Each structure stands twice: as structure tokens, then as C-alpha cells.
């Protein structure tokens, strides 16, 4: 299939080409637009704001799973969901409990009791004999990082995300992002109960290409919840996002308060195929509107500035919220410095997912692999490209070739072909089996 593909060795400009399909563009090395997705019928693999987009338009409507769902915000859309903001976690669907039981039966879910938290609040505590810092429990609240959970971004990168929406402050946040060069996209860890209340902000985030991820139905401390409650909190939020985005099932979730442990993260992974993302810096922006405020814009400015000017290893995952105009203002204030300090900026889910932000679709516009139920999305996986399989791509692409390109200082010329996509943030081609890195020109 890639018999005609050519590529240069690393000593010259990276150039990939295919006889039937090739695009050559000049893209500024510092541009912040992202390119993700594999090309195929009905969808295109560059964002609207990418230079390539002017050459080949994609279907702006975005692919769906072919099911007709009630329009987001319509009466039909809001019917049939669990109660919003109930004190109790929503009862899970029977299919999800079956998947939970299967995971328990294969001993994939630790069996210790949930943590408890007293009425007055405070942090969760575990039964005596259980150490929250031990690898067997590894509570995020106690700062323990479970292998496979994500706390850090790759070196040099900052992954941008916002928790607790959609809410009215989502609008000024998106206004701001839309006004920036390249209209950067971000990740939203959305709360199911809030989605039902804010359909317009939800739709706006989705249609601009932002990455949607899960932040539970009622925002509890998840380690205090039973296995079934954990499944209900996650499952309903996944289903609501699925039914409101043409069938996409999120790939990432963030536990409220970062409160996860080996039991909760295992349920997310084993039942739903979710990867848990926490953070490595906390602005405490959620407390700006507390009375009295827990922090101030100037305090956030100062700590944020320190992180941005500090080490780029590891990269940054900063906890931020679309919870109030103040918390959005804290991000707006930081943005010029994020750009000025030379970080590679991207939506957090795009960064961590290497461009794939849903379990059954690459992004908000690419083809969707239909699933009958959200618990099946991980096993169903991404849609297959309808083009011929790239059987020889790895060998051919690695072997080098005779490609050529021209370059000017600060610019890179590249060509894309059917099984590769250029990720501006990671500064890498993502191909079926390739290990190219971008050359500095
Ligand atoms: C979500 O969509 C599926 C079809 O994919 C449907 O079976 C289900 O009832 C919908 N959920 C709700 C709560 O409407
Ligand atoms: C938040 O900002 C928006 C405009 O950016 C404004 O319309 C809205 O009234 C503000 N909300 C509050 C609570 O101040
Ligand atoms: C801090 O405030 C200064 C002055 O307004 C601004 O230029 C800078 O971008 C801010 N930095 C952060 C990280 O908020
Ligand atoms: C993204 O790619 C990196 C480097 O190849 C890999 O370590 C990581 O597991 C990938 N992440 C996901 C979520 O697939
Ligand atoms: Zn939250």
C-alpha cells in the first residue's frame, strides 16, 4: 500500500508522499494549532484553523455514529437521565454492573472498603490496617500516584484543561480562546449534572473542537463511594456525553478533588476503559469566590508564573476551573506568559492521548465507531480506515528514501500521507509504525 511512499533520511527535510494523495504545506514551527485524526471518507484530519484546511476542506458537520439522538438542549434530550445534583450517586445501568462484576471476578478490582469522610468534611480516611500511601491503596488525595494514572505532561508541554463545567463562565472562557491566534482548543472535564443545565455551553465547547472528558455526575469524593456508585457516577456522564456528541465515548476522566485510589482508578479503567488524569500544579482558583476567598488573582499570578518560568521537565498539568469569571480571569491573565515562556501548548486530552481523545473516535469531527453501550467502547476501539491497510508503512518509512523539500529559517516543509498525521504540539508525525521526530530547520 505504501510501496510508492518515499521519505528522506534524517539528514534532510522530512518528506512523506503517496502517489494517490499528498499535501505539501508550510507550517510555522511555533504555530499552536493541532492536527489529529486519520484521513478517510467523510472526514478530514486537520483542524479548521490549520493551514492545510484551506487546501482540502473537511466536512464541517462532523461524523456521527449514524444514530439520531434528540438535539442537545431539546426536551427529549433532557429526558431519561438520573436526577441532577442528588446527594446519592445515580443507580448504574444493569449492563455496567455486569461489566463491574466481570472485572471483580477476574480480580481486576481491589477489594478493600471505600474510604470514609466525616460529616464535617476533611479528607477521606481508610479502615485501620490500610495505608493510603501504600501502593496497594495509593490515594490521590494523599499524593500517591498510581502507575498508569497521569499526573505529569511530557517535557516542554503544557496541557490545558478546565474542570466543573459546563457553566455560564464557559462562555467568557471560549470567547477568550476564540480570540487567540489559532483558536487553541482545550479539554473540559464536564460534570453530568451541569451538562443537563448548560446545553448551550456544552454544544459550543464541542462544536469548536474542544476535548470532552468525564468529571462524574455529582462531583463526590469518589474513594468514599461503593463500586456500584463509582460505576453510576462515571457511566451516566459517559452516556450523556456519548448521546450529545454523535456517539463519542470519552477516553479520559478526572476524579473530583483528585480523590482516586487503586480501587476507583481500576473501576474506571476495567469497566469503562478510562484513563485517570490528575494534575501536578494547583492554582486553587476554585476558591477565588469562597467567602472569604481562599486565594487571590495576584497569588495565582505569582505561583503560576513560577511554574511557567521553572523547569520544563516534567511538563505542566495545571488544575483550573471554568467555575467562575474569576477563575477564567486567572487563566486569561496567565495565557500571555504561557505563550511567552515557550511552552508547547495543547488541549490536555489531545496531549496525553497522542491526538486520540475518545475511545471510539479520534476527535470531535472524525469518524465514530458505533457502540450499543458505553462499557463497550474500549473494546470496540477506533474506526478502521477504509483505505488499504498500511502493511509496509513501518519498513518503508523507516528505510529512508529520496524525498526532497525546501526550508526557510523557522519553517518546516512536510508532506502528509494517508497513515500519518503531523501533531504540531508533540512536534511529531504519528504514523502507523514510525518513529520520526521533527527536524529543526
Ligand atoms: C442514549 O442513546 C442510546 C442509543 O445510542 C439509547 O439507547 C439510550 O436510551 C440513550 N440514553 C438516554 C438516557 O436517553
Ligand atoms: C461573567 O462575565 C460575563 C462576560 O464576560 C458577563 O456577561 C457575566 O455577567 C459575568 N458574570 C458574573 C457573575 O459576573
Ligand atoms: C501575571 O500578571 C502580569 C501582569 O498583568 C501578566 O503579564 C502575566 O501574564 C501574568 N502571569 C500569569 C502567569 O498569570
Ligand atoms: C502516547 O504516546 C506515548 C509515547 O509514545 C506513550 O508512552 C503513551 O502511553 C501514549 N499515551 C496514550 C494514552 O496512548
Ligand atoms: Zn471538580
Q: Which of 270, 383, 322, 288 is nearest to 38 (CA)?
A: 383
| Total number of domains constituting the chain | 2
Note whether 196 and 238 are same-domain residues.
Answer: yes
Note whether 401 and 329 are same-domain residues.
Answer: no
Is residue 305 situated within a structural domain? Answer: yes
Note whether 162 and 235 are same-domain residues.
Answer: yes
Catalytic residue, candidates 188, 242, 321, 363: 321
Cβ(43) to ligand 1 under 6 A?
A: no
Neighbours of 94 (CB within 10 A): 8
Cβ(353) to ligand 4 under 6 A?
A: yes
Rounded to the nearest angstrom, the distance between the alpha carbon of 305 and the centre of ligand 3 is 7
Q: Output the average pLDDT for the chain.
A: 81
Beta carbons of 308 and 120 less than 8 angstroms apart: no
Helices within 245-293 (DSSP H only): 262-272
Q: Is the pTM of this model over 0.85?
A: no
Note whether 335 and 406 are same-domain residues.
Answer: no
Note whether 147 and 256 are same-domain residues.
Answer: yes
Q: What is the pLDDT of residues 164-219, one digit of tens each?
A: 999 999 999 999 999 999 999 999 999 999 999 999 999 999 999 999 999 999 99
Calpha distance 247→64 (Å, rounded): 6
Residue 28 structural domain = 1-69+389-441
Note whether 131 and 260 are same-domain residues.
Answer: yes
Domain end, chosen from 380, 413, 428, is at 380
> SS3 for 364?
coil
Note whether 393 and 363 are same-domain residues.
Answer: no
Ligand 1 atom closest to 372 (CA): 5
Most ligand 4 atoms within 8 A of CB, residue of 354, 355, 427, 435 to mutate: 354
Provide the strand spans (E) within 217-323: 252-253, 275-276, 281-282, 316-319
* Chain position carrying cell 480562546: 177
Note whether 185 and 277 are same-domain residues.
Answer: yes
Is residue 188 situated within a structural domain? Answer: yes
Task: Give per-residue burial for 354-372: e unless 16+ CB within 10 Å, then b.
Answer: ebbbbbbbbbbbbbbbebe
CATH number at residue 342: 3.20.20.370
Q: What is the pLDDT of residues 363-408, one digit of tens each?
A: 999 999 999 999 999 999 999 864 333 333 332 232 233 233 333 3
Neighbours of 77 (CB within 10 A): 18
Is residue 167 situated within a structural domain? Answer: yes
Note whether 12 and 109 are same-domain residues.
Answer: no
Rounded to the nearest angstrom, the distance between the alpha carbon of 253 and the centre of ligand 5 is 11
Note whether 216 and 357 are same-domain residues.
Answer: yes
Beta carbons of 325 and 319 less than 8 angstroms apart: no
Ligand sitting nearest the alpha carbon of 339: 3
Cβ(172) to ligand 2 under 6 A?
A: yes
Is residue 76 situated within a structural domain? Answer: no
Determine which helix (DSSP H) or strand (DSSP E) holds 189, and give its type and residue range.
strand 187-190
Catalytic residue, candidates 65, 149, 163, 285: 163
Domain end, chosen from 328, 356, 380, is at 380
Q: Which three cell numbers stand for residue 297?
A: 488573582
Q: What is the pLDDT of residue 61?
A: 59
Note whether 105 and 251 are same-domain residues.
Answer: yes
Is residue 424 situated within a structural domain? Answer: yes
Is residue 77 situated within a structural domain? Answer: no
* Chain position carrying cell 505539501: 24
Note whether 212 and 361 are same-domain residues.
Answer: yes
Is residue 86 situated within a structural domain? Answer: no
Active site (annotated) includes residue 163:
yes
Residue 249 CA, chain-centre distance (Å), reads: 11
Is residue 90 situated within a structural domain? Answer: no
- 398: Cβ–Cβ under 8 A, 6 or more apart, which residues? 433, 434, 435
Q: What is the pLDDT of residue 139?
A: 98
Domain end, chosen from 380, 399, 414, is at 380
Q: Half-sphere exposure of residue 41, counting CA atoms within 13 Å on the CB side?
A: 6
Residue spans of the chain under pLDDT 70: 1-61, 385-441
Q: Nearest C-alpha to atom 10 of ligand 2 is from which residue?
A: 325
Amino acid at each position: 500500500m505504501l510501496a510508492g511512499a518515499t521519505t528522506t533520511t534524517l539528514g534532510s527535510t522530512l518528506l512523506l508522499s503517496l502517489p494517490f494523495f499528498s499535501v505539501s504545506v508550510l507550517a510555522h514551527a511555533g504555530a499552536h494549532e493541532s492536527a489529529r485524526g486519520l484521513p478517510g471518507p467523510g472526514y478530514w484530519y486537520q483542524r479548521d484553523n490549520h493551514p492545510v484546511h484551506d487546501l482540502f476542506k473537511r466536512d464541517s458537520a462532523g461524523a456521527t455514529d449514524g444514530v439520531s439522538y434528540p438535539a442537545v438542549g431539546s426536551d427529549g434530550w433532557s429526558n431519561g437521565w438520573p436526577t441532577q445534583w442528588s446527594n446519592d450517586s445515580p443507580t448504574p445501568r444493569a449492563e455496567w454492573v455486569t461489566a463491574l462484576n466481570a472485572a471483580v471476578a477476574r480480580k481486576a478490582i481491589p477489594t478493600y472498603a471505600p474510604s470514609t469522610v466525616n460529616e464535617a468534611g476533611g479528607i477521606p480516611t481508610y479502615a485501620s490496617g490500610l495505608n493510603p500511601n501504600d501502593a496497594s491503596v495509593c490515594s490521590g488525595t494523599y499524593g500517591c500516584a498510581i502507575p498508569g494514572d497521569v499526573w505529569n505532561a511530557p517535557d516542554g508541554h503544557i496541557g490545558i484543561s478546565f474542570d466543573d463545567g459546563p457553566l455560564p463562565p464557559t462562555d467568557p472562557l471560549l470567547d477568550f480562546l476564540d480570540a487567540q491566534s489559532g483558536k487553541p482548543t482545550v479539554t473540559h472535564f464536564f460534570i453530568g449534572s451541569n451538562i443537563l443545565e448548560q446545553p448551550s455551553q456544552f454544544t459550543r465547547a464541542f462544536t469548536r473542537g474542544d476535548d470532552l472528558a468525564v468529571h462524574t455526575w455529582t462531583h463526590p469524593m469518589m474513594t468514599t463511594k461503593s463500586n456500584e456508585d463509582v460505576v453510576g457516577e462515571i457511566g451516566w456522564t459517559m452516556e450523556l456525553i456519548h448521546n450529545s456528541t454523535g456517539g463519542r465515548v470519552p477516553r479520559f476522566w478526572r476524579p473530583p478533588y483528585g480523590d482516586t485510589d487503586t480501587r476507583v482508578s481500576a473501576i474506571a479503567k476495567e469497566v469503562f476503559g478510562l484513563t485517570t488524569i490528575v494534575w501536578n500544579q494547583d492554582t486553587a482558583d476554585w476558591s477565588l469566590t469562597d467567602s472569604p476567598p481562599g486565594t487571590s488573582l495576584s497569588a495565582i499570578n505569582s505561583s503560576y508564573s513560577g511554574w511557567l518560568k521553572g523547569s520544563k521537565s516534567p511538563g505542566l498539568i495545571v488544575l483550573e476551573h471554568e467555575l467562575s469569571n474569576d477563575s477564567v480571569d486567572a487563566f486569561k491573565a496567565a495565557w500571555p506568559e504561557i505563550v511567552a515562556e515557550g511552552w508547547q501548548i495543547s488541549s490536555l486530552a489531545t496531549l496525553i492521548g497522542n491526538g486520540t481523545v475518545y475511545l471510539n473516535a479520534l476527535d470531535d469531527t472524525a469518524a465514530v465507531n458505533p457502540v450499543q453501550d458505553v462499557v463497550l467502547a474500549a473494546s470496540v476501539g477506533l474506526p478502521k480506515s477504509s483505505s488499504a491497510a498500511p502493511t509496509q508503512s513501518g519498513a518503508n518509512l523507516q528505510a529512508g528514501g529520496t524525498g526532497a523539500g525546501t526550508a526557510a529559517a523557522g519553517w518546516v516543509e512536510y508532506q502528509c500521507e494517508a497513515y500519518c498525521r503531523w501533531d504540531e504540539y508533540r512536534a511529531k508525525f504519528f504514523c502507523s509504525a514510525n518513529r520520526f521526530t521533527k527536524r529543526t530547520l
